[in-house]
């Protein structure tokens, strides 16, 4: 998800599958570009929240053990609370989110993002299309830029939702997966849990 400031955020588009699948780094889009490019991203958001959240098969985890390697850069309570909140959301589904000391599934790091609060990309797929290794980047402003903990919980929830295979939802979706996410909704809604579970039948 992208933002121009804590209270003015932009977001990714799910209707640009090449970008979404190959490079979810929308800071690159920002760097390339132009205001018109930024507007195009926003305009590409779906107009209405679908009942069933979009599924991005390229982001499907390669199993139900969902390990997060958390950078030691997350070292204050707001950051840790936000990370734990995101993992709690994943754990509402059949995915078993836990931390790991090595990069098994998802790496969560901080990066100085330009015009962006966070992003997600799958960096290595299996031949069957599931995602083996992925990276969530959270802006280094987390915990320091004055945005609320609720906002950062929404940001982390949003990216961890992508790491669970959920694509963008419309801005009026009552969920952290809304495009753009806001501090008003910092959790998955029940539809997202249902959709994740439908892809990982127990």
Q: Least distance from C-beta 31 to Zn ion, angstroms?
A: 18
Residue whose pair of structure tokens reads 């100085």 in the numeric block: 112
Q: Which of 54, 58, 2 is nearest to 29 (CA)?
A: 2
Piece of 4-12, 36-44, 77-85, 104-112 that binds Zn ion (CB under 5 A): 4-12
Token output for 159? 């990216």
Q: Least distance from C-beta 159 to Zn ion, angstroms?
A: 7
Residue among 1 and 195 whose Cβ is closer to Zn ion: 1
Note whether 139 binds Zn ion by CB under 5 A: no
Per residue in 70-95, is it b (16+ CB within 10 Å) or e — as a string?
bbeebeeebbebbbbbbbebbeebbb
* List 1, 9, 117, 170, residue binding Zn ion (CB under 5 A): 1
Residue among 45 and 87 whose Cβ is closer to Zn ion: 45
Which residue has the closest beta carbon to Zn ion? 12
Q: Least distance from C-beta 101 to Zn ion, angstroms?
A: 27
Q: Least distance from C-beta 180 to Zn ion, angstroms?
A: 8
Q: Least distance from C-beta 1 to Zn ion, angstroms?
A: 5
Q: Which of 21, 3, 6, 8 is nearest to 167 (CA)?
A: 21
Note whether 12 binds Zn ion by CB under 5 A: yes
Residue among 47 and 201 whose Cβ is closer to Zn ion: 47
State which of positions 155-174 bind Zn ion (CB under 5 A). none
Q: Which residues pair with 121 in a beta bridge?
A: 135
- Chain residues binding Zn ion by CB under 5 A are 1, 12
């Amino acid at each position: 998800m992208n933002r121009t400031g804590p209270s003015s955020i932009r977001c990714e588009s799910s209707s640009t599958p090449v970008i979404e699948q190959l490079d979810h780094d929308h800071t690159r889009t920002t760097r390339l570009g132009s205001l018109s490019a930024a507007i195009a991203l926003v305009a590409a958001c779906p107009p209405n929240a679908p009942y069933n959240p979009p599924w991005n098969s390229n982001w499907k985890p390669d199993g139900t053990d969902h390990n997060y390697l958390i950078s030691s850069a997350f070292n204050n309570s707001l950051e840790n609370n936000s990370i734990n909140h995101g993992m709690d959301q994943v754990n509402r589904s059949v995915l078993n989110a836990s931390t790991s000391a090595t990069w098994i599934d998802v790496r969560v790091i901080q990066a100085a993002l330009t015009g962006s609060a966070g992003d997600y990309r799958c960096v290595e797929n299996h031949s069957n299309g599931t995602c083996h290794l992925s990276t969530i980047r959270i802006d280094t402003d987390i915990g320091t830029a004055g945005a609320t903990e609720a906002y950062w919980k929404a940001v982390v929830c949003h990216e961890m939702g992508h790491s669970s295979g959920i694509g963008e939802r419309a801005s009026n979706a009552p969920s952290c997966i809304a495009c753009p996410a806001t501090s008003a909704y910092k959790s998955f809604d029940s539809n997202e849990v249902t959709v994740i579970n439908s892809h990982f039948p127990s």
